[in-house]
Amino acid sequence: MENVIELRNATKKFKGFSVENIDLQVKQGLITGFIGENGAGKSTTIKMMMNLLKPDAGEVKVFGLDFRTHEKEIKERIGFVYDGNVYFEGLNLKDIRRIVGPAYSQWDDDLFYKYVNQFDLPLNKAIKTFSKGMQMKGSLAIALSHHAELIIMDEPTAGLDPNFRRELLELLQEIMVDGKRTIFLSTHMTTDLDRIADYIAFIQRGKLVFNQSIQDISDQYALVKGPLDLLDRDTEKDFVHVHRFKTGFQALTDRVKAVEDTFGNSVVIERASLEEIMYFMKGERQHV
């Protein structure tokens, strides 16, 4: 499978915050969800992918091309949706189309109006009168109207009500049907991704923890519940992190097979949701 985005050892340091040695490959034709807490480095990583930030070290390639030599070619093929509105808020969609459209050689007016219709967006109202959901839909309509092969979204579901979120996620699945398109979207709401993502990249405190297919994640990670007396220094080795309660323990393991061998039927092994994985991983780091 081909990689649409490749980050190799990408590092960017700020005062008091950094993303370090990010090695991340985003596969073509799939939806990759990028998860992590607020402030984990998701936006910084996305900005490096868009060349809004240049990494201090390492390299970023999109479509196998380098921004230094192919900036325009790369951006021609990307559609972007950011957390906040980046379009001139005093303008209406018609005027924004007049500014943004000609920037793309593949801009398709018919497609744009099709999405505007589909999303029920007013053409003559200023963007600042739009609700958060409408602004996001407007950005999405623009992102989809130049036949982009890669859609990069930074927290597109933030601030949307549940119905709207569901609608957006369905729409994303819809635009994936031709198989050539790739979507990379960041979110801190992991439940968004359980339904649609093929791959999950997880970033924590500026470091990439994993980038795996949903299938691999559910094979590898599991939630283990059992009585406290099973825990000792040896058995705990199989856990990423353990939470102790009076009634027993709950732990995350990334070695399901080993846990099965050690504990057999004396523990309950359940599928771990992304949220649980994130939660336990956070604990693990804090205890080190």
Partner 1 sequence: MFNLIRRDVILQKRQLLFFIPFILFFIFMNSHPIMTFLVASIFIPFNAYAYDEKAETNVLLNSLPYTRKEIIASRYLGAVLYMILAISLSSLALFLLDKPFTMRDMAIGSGLFLTFSAFTFPLFYIFKQGYIFTIVLISFLVLAGIGPSILNYVGKYLTPLSQFLANLSGETLYIGALLSALIVYCLSWGFSQKIYQRKAF
Q: Which of 80, 112, 199, 249 touches partner 1 (CB under 8 A)?
A: 80
Residues 231-270 that bind partner 1 (CB under 8 A): none
Q: Which helix (H) or strand (E) covers residue 56, if one does?
A: none
Cα(171)–Cα(165) distance, rounded to whole angstroms?
10
Q: At 167, list the tokens.
A: 């609608």
Considering the complex, state which of residue 77 and residue 165 has its C-beta at the smaller distance from partner 1. Answer: 77
85 binds partner 1 (CB under 8 A): yes
Cα(257)–Cα(264) distance, rounded to whole angstroms?
10
65 binds partner 1 (CB under 8 A): no
57 binds partner 1 (CB under 8 A): no
Which range binds partner 1 by CB under 8 A, 75-83, 174-182, 210-218, 242-250? 75-83
95 binds partner 1 (CB under 8 A): yes
Q: How far is the CB of 287 from partner 1 (least distance, A)?
A: 34
Cα(132)–Cα(83) distance, rounded to whole angstroms?
10
Strands 182-187 and 150-154, bridge-based pairing: parallel
The answer for residues whose C-beta is within 8 angstroms of residue 116's C-beta and 6 or more apart is 93, 123, 141
Q: Which helix (H) or strand (E) covers residue 172, if one does?
A: helix 162-174
Considering the complex, state which of residue 98 and residue 237 has its C-beta at the smaller distance from partner 1. Answer: 98
Cα(79)–Cα(108) distance, rounded to whole angstroms?
13
Considering the complex, state which of residue 18 and residue 235 has its C-beta at the smaller distance from partner 1. Answer: 18
The answer for residues whose C-beta is within 8 angstroms of residue 179's C-beta and 6 or more apart is 29
Considering the complex, state which of residue 183 and residue 224 has its C-beta at the smaller distance from partner 1. Answer: 183
Q: Which of 28, 29, 75, 284 touches partner 1 (CB under 8 A)?
A: 75
Q: Which of 87, 115, 199, 280 touches partner 1 (CB under 8 A)?
A: 87
Cα(63)–Cα(175) distance, rounded to whole angstroms?
19
82 binds partner 1 (CB under 8 A): yes
Q: How far is the CB of 47 from partner 1 (least distance, A)?
A: 7
CA atoms 45, 175, 117, 161: torsion sign: negative
Q: How far is the CB of 141 from partner 1 (least distance, A)?
A: 15
Q: At 36, phi and psi to the nearest 5?
A: 160, 160
The C-alpha angle with vertex 216 and arms to 4 and 259, in degrees rounded to 5, equals 150
Which range binds partner 1 by CB under 8 A, 57-65, 90-98, 115-123, 217-225? 90-98
76 binds partner 1 (CB under 8 A): yes
Binding site for partner 1 (CB under 8 A): 47, 50-54, 71-73, 75-76, 78, 80, 82, 84-88, 90-91, 95, 98-100, 102-105
